[in-house]
Structure 1
């Protein structure tokens, strides 16, 4: 029986001189490992569709518990990622998170859309890497059931003041109620302004087509990126090696000096 699905390649492994194994992220099937015969040959019709981060429509068959590619039709190759090491390394980090958090046989439509939109912004729109990284980290955690409590302060629900984000517990506390709980001052408890809290809430709760439609100031984005990185590491309970490489080559980028949300039309794939 032939199976057809759209997907994005998140991992590629060579097999012999001409073959390769690919892992794709499918919105309907989650992670799927596929054997591709002759993919590395120059005249192979599957070459472009089986490269890392390529998006295509894949048709494959199952035999003895394994999947073998029958045909594929490219949709998007995201070639722009290969022209910038920082963007390529960020895409690799996102792919590692997906490899660790998504399993075979489960629906992954929201994660797939998030990944596709992130790759599109990095490859086609030259979006700020730090901004895309922050949105991706917070939203994938939310989509996978690890959303923080976004009502405001965990005691009084205020959100119009500076709050302390207790990253390990996924809650926020205002200064008044910080006094009523035992809260240690360490890197996992971070102060956020009302605007930063709204940015986190916007990313986690907005429709997928709108989550990139805002901007924050450079200083706020640096702090939000620090928060989202810690949040992902703590709640996924994993240290990602691709993140180390990304951080080793990440360079500051020009960021608009805006504190509040502003509309910014981007394509939703």
Structure 2
């Protein structure tokens, strides 16, 4: 199986922590030159320092910038005009009852979760087509199919990502460029861990795995693994999709949801 990404340049947005950080580490382990992105240069530099201690394969470089805005994307593109692999990972979530979500929140979620990937894909994919090889991955969510009633606006953006990824895959059909979505289920990212600690009264010694199993049992009972996934488990799927071995996989919505979604396909 060819998983070698030596000589390939990748950009993983929102990669200073959580799933994005784990994806960057996996791509670097496969030999890729990986751009680490976040809104602040200090946080980006700190993430690169940690990653360099964890992987000795690929090169890591800083690409700070707010990809949630058109100006931020333009600035990033000026510093990094071409990539072979684009992982659209930047995203936000927030539980809020539907009737309390104002227009501004709908627009903010769409700009961050959807338009960031649209703008970057529109800029980078043509170069991939011209070179005859490329990978675009949208980090969607099982919430794009199983819309969470506690954050409908988040679910809407994740459904939109699925549509964009499929449409872009058909746009670049036959070029050597693949476009896919990856759908994580509930995942023990840094943000989720912090949220659970707050629920436990701020206890630093809280058993996050036990709390995760309880959350899944109460709120996602259809899960087949009956626990939160680890960020490295999601990253493993993304790394495979980015590799030469996945050359026949395009236009797919690949689930890392622990079997939560109760349908075939």
Shorter-chain TM-score range: under 0.3
Greater length-normalized contact order (CA 8 Å, ≥ 6 residues apart)? 2
TM-score normalised to the size of structure 2? 0.20
Which of 1 and 2 has greater Rg? 1
Instruction: Compare the two structures and name the one with the higher strand fraction.
Output: 1
